[in-house]
Each structure stands twice: as C-alpha cells, then as structure tokens.
A and B are shown apart, each in its own frame.
Chain A
Amino acid sequence: KQEVTQIPAALSVPEGENLVLNCSFTDSAIYNLQWFRQDPGKGLTSLLLIQSSQREQTSGRLNASLDKSSGRSTLYIAASQPGDSATYLCAVNSGGYQKVTFGIGTKLQVIP
C-alpha cells in the first residue's frame, strides 16, 4: 500500500526566501506525481505534474523534482511571496483511477 509523507507539516519563512517542500513515498512504482496548492476552505489547485520518466518540471517560480528510486519529490519555491501562503499537497499516482495517494500537506506561511 502506497504511503505518502510530507515534511515539515508547517513552515514559516520571511518574504523573499527560497524554500523546499518535501514529499516521500514508499512504493517507487508510480505513474506520476502531482503537486497541489490549497487555500483555506478551498479546493486544490494543480501546480505541477511530473511523469515517472521525468526528473523535474518548472512553472514560473516553482520547480518540482522527482527521484523515483529513492521515493522522493521536492517542490522548490523561489523568492517566496506572502501570496504563496497556503497548504501544499503532493499526490502520487500508482496506476489506475483509484490509486492516487495524497499526503497530508505542508502548511506554508510567508511573512511580509
């Protein structure tokens, strides 16, 4: 059974700092990994999807990497802004419609 862990559970940084969020998974046989952002009381917004054959994906100030063999992914946020404050979740697709496992998330606060 796939298990997804996100560390730390919460993170507070000053504005402008670069930061890394971590996601680890127990079964390396995955199809893809997706990073989401969730604002309080809202749905999930897709940020990046990395396919199992890829090493990284970039979108603006965000860069996600994937090391499938070690069961790890990182989300790098450059030059953080207060608007980046949210909970970030990773989701691992182990194959099939019902085989997406979500982490609990990392709650990020960027202090102005």
Chain B
Amino acid sequence: SQTIHQWPATLVQPVGSPLSLECTVEGTSNPNLYWYRQAAGRGLQLLFYSVGIGQISSEVPQNLSASRPQDRQFILSSKKLLLSDSGFYLCAWGLISTTNEKLFFGSGTQLSVL
C-alpha cells in the first residue's frame, strides 16, 4: 500500500533562517506531488505541484521554493524565512484513476517563525 512521510512534525525557526521540509512517498511511482499551506480560518492554499522529477509549478509568488530531486521526494525550501511563512504545511500526492485524481496527505508540519 502507498504511504506518505512528512517531517518534521513541528519546527520553530527564527526570522531569516533557512527552511527545508521533506516529503517522501512509498508504494507508487511517478505520483503527482503537492505542497499546501493551511492557515487558521482559511482553506488550504496550493503552493507548488510537480508532475515529474525536476518539474515544479508555482501557484503563488512567495518566499518559498520547491524541488523534486527524485521521483518520490518533494522538498519545500526557503533561504530566509519571514514571519508570514508561519503556518501548517501539508504534502500530498495524487493517485490518477482515469479522469479523476484522489489526493492523499501527509501528517503535516507546524512551522512557527519567530
């Protein structure tokens, strides 16, 4: 069966420090991969998605970047964190079945930038 691993679960970082969040998927190949951010009282916001190795699409201009160095690995990074980067970050992968895609999520990372 497929599983998705996301770490760390919580992270407290000072403003201006770098960031690296990692996500890996097991049990499937060539998944679509996503990074979302969830803010209190707001719906999930898509940050990046990837349909293959080295292919990254960004949905919103921001202080963050993403990379996909391997088929089942997705990394969210920042060179210098801002206070506004605080939030709950979720990695997800998509299982394509005919014309429909079902999303599966990781356990999330609560990021606090102080």
Q: A4–B42 Cα gap in the complex (Å)? A: 11
A28 within 8 A of B: no
Smallest Cβ distance from B10 to chain A, in angstroms?
Answer: 9
CB atoms of B108 and A91 under 8 A apart: no
Given A98-B59, A104-B41, do A43 and B106 touch, yes or no (CB 8 Å)? yes
Give B81-104 as 1s and 0s: 1 = Cβ < 8 Å from A's Cβ atoms: 000000010101010000111111
Interface set, chain B 31-64, CB cutoff 8 A to A: 32, 34, 41-44, 46, 49, 51, 57, 59
Task: Say yes or no: is A79 at the interface (Cβ < 8 Å to chain B).
Answer: no
Interface size class of B (residues with CB under 8 A): 20 to 34
Contact (Cβ within 8 A) A46 B104: yes
Q: Which of B34, B100, B105 contacts A93 (CB 8 A)?
A: B100
CB distance from B89 to the nearest CB of A (A): 10
CB of A88 within 8 Å of the partner chain: no
Q: Which residue of A lies closest to B90 (CB)?
A: A43
Residue A45 at the B interface, CB < 8 A? yes
Interface residues on chain A, size class: 20 to 34
Q: Tell me if B107 counts as interface (CB < 8 A to partner A).
A: yes
Residue numbers in A under 8 Å from B102 (CB-CB): 32, 34, 46, 49
The answer to whether B103 and A34 touch across the interface, beta carbons within 8 angstroms, is yes
In the complex, what residue of chain B is closest to A103 when comparing beta carbons? B43
Say whether B67 faces chain A, with CB atoms less than 8 Å apart.
Answer: no
CA distance A9 to B92 in the complex (A): 24
Given A4-B43, A97-B94, A100-B46: A41 and B110 interface contact (C-beta under 8 Å): yes
Could you list some 17 contacts between A and B, CB below 8 A? A32-B100, A32-B101, A42-B108, A43-B106, A49-B100, A51-B100, A89-B43, A89-B44, A91-B103, A97-B34, A97-B51, A97-B94, A100-B46, A101-B43, A103-B43, A104-B42, A104-B43
